[in-house]
Amino acid sequence: MPHVTSADGTAIGYDRIGDDGPVVVLVGGGLDDGSENAPLGEHLAAAGLAVVNYRRRGRGDSGDRPPYAVAREVEDLAAVIDAAGGRAHLFGASSGGALALEAAVAGLAVDRIAVHEVPYLVDEPMVAAWRGYVAGLDAALGRGDRDEALRLFMRLAGSPEEQIAAAEAAPVWPALRELAPTLRYDAACLGAGPPPADRLANVTQPVLLSTGVTVDPHSAGLPVDFFGAAADAAAASLPNAHRLTVEVAGHVADPALLAPKLAAFYTA
């Protein structure tokens, strides 16, 4: 698998899908080592786009040189874009969408940006829950308790306790434990919780904010239309925002449904 070297010397792994058409870089969300976006990348490549799907630092074959800062992740993305030809569109899933927007704020060579269900917090109870989560996450990871870090994340995401217990017993849990330290990185990308209105106001590129209309059983504990409200709040601060609601099942969008919408946006 190819790698690029970020500004601090960290090796960042990526895959390229398709060689012709506009370049789109896929930015993964929480607990994703790049595999979650891979099916979407295949659909976008079939639609005539050159797709780069990279592993954020600390995930898969990408390195993780300390100390962490969101700026380092922006530098990682800059290195990926440079290797892909110097300019690119972006797609960010969940917290990866927050990182994609921060990259635009930082002035990276990006054109159109699409983000799906960025979990910004828009009401005081959820902001308070976010503060408690960040503190609990730091404490759990500080004492090396990756299992508790994952439980905290799942509770914040609205998962019932029985689903958390089932996840702990599932074969995927050890892989999630490996990724648990990167939950801090996703938390840093989301900052204080609400959309950062002052920074988003500086994003002049067209931004598509998509959300689903179906309820994810794994997020049953979240407020009704949590992601829609978050997208609307972020869109209000973006100078060139476009909202899209897609008939998708769950927080991870069906690539067969989302990809045509994204392709149309990127080639408009």
Q: Which domains does the chain have, with CATH numbers?
A: 3-123+192-266 (3.40.50.1820), 124-185 (no CATH)
What's 118's DSSP letter?
Answer: -
The pTM for the full model equals: 0.97
Token pair of 173 as six digits: 């849990």
CB proximity list for 86: less than 8 A, separation 6 or greater: 109
What's 219's DSSP letter?
Answer: G
CB–CB of 38/53 below 8 Å? yes
The pLDDT score that the predictor gives to residue 213 is 82
Q: Is the pLDDT of residue 187 over 90?
A: yes
Nearest to 84 by CA among 116, 38, 115, 53: 53
The pLDDT score that the predictor gives to residue 141 is 98
Indicate the SS3 state at residue 52.
Answer: strand
Average pLDDT in the 209-213 region? 93
CB–CB of 93/28 below 8 Å? yes
Residues of the chain by 3-state class (helix, strand, coil), percent to 5: 45, 15, 40
